[in-house]
């Protein structure tokens, strides 16, 4: 009986899970390791949880380490998505560095690269 009650409580906790947790990268566009024939005009990242745009960032650097993005990360629709605009990128390899602060202040970070083909 105690075991059943424990299982029910744990199940209820998981089922009633609030949207508060570490915001890990769910998917990105361009994606990690992507090789693109057309240069992207923005980087979009969707996280596993909602993020605070004022305390989150996306930086896009070229191979020389020069920052190229607009410096204005913003949400687009769902609070799980963050985007930053890009100028027209010439062929090359670019590094995306992101820092996310979820709505309950958990901080996460990561980076990946993508390439624009000639």
Residue 38 or 88: the one with the smaller Cβ distance to another protein is: 38
Give the integer Cα–Cα distance in Å for 53 and 78.
Answer: 12
Alpha helix segments (H runs only) across the chain: 2-15
90 binds another protein (CB under 8 A): no
Size of the site for another protein (CB under 8 A): 26
**The one among 24, 41, 63, 92 contacting another protein by CB under 8 A:** 24
Count the Cβ atoms, other than its own, within 10 Å of residue 81: 18
CB of 95 to another protein, least distance (A): 11
Cβ–Cβ under 8 Å, residues 46 and 81: yes
* Residues near another protein (CB under 8 A): 6, 10, 13-14, 17-18, 20-22, 24-25, 27-28, 31-34, 48-49, 104, 106, 108-112
């Amino acid at each position: 009986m105690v075991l059943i009650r424990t299982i029910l409580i744990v199940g209820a906790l998981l089922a009633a899970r609030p949207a508060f947790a570490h915001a890990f990268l769910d998917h990105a566009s361009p994606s990690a390791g992507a090789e693109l024939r057309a240069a992207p005009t923005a980087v979009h990242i969707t996280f596993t949880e909602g993020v605070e745009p004022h305390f989150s960032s996306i930086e896009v650097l070229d191979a020389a380490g020069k920052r190229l993005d607009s410096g204005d990360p913003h949400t687009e629709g769902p609070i799980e998505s963050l985007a930053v605009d890009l100028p027209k990128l010439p062929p090359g390899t670019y590094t995306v560095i992101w820092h996310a602060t979820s709505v309950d202040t958990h901080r996460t970070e990561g980076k990946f690269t993508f390439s624009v083909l000639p």
